[in-house]
């Protein structure tokens, strides 16, 4: 399941579910370290 891909609307390329989870982890880390607004993942498909 983690290796399945979907077209990412902002990146304009196919990404795996595993990569989507990694992106979310980076966004959460940035929020915790810098206080930047966290915009949670929302399914678009």
State the Cα–Cα distance between residues 33 and 16, nearest whole angstrom: 26
At 42 the pLDDT is 87
Is the distance from CB of 21 to CB of 29 less than 8 angstroms? no
Domain ranges of the chain: 1-45
Q: Which residue has the tokens 């989870």?
A: 21
The 10s digit of each residue's pLDDT in 12-41 is 999 999 999 999 999 999 999 999 999 998
At 17 the pLDDT is 95
The reported pTM is 0.79
Q: Which residue has the tokens 């810098």?
A: 34
């Amino acid at each position: 399941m983690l290796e399945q891909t979907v077209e990412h609307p902002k990146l304009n390329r196919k990404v795996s579910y595993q990569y989507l989870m990694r992106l979310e982890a980076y966004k959460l880390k940035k929020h915790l370290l810098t206080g930047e607004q966290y915009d949670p993942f929302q399914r678009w498909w």
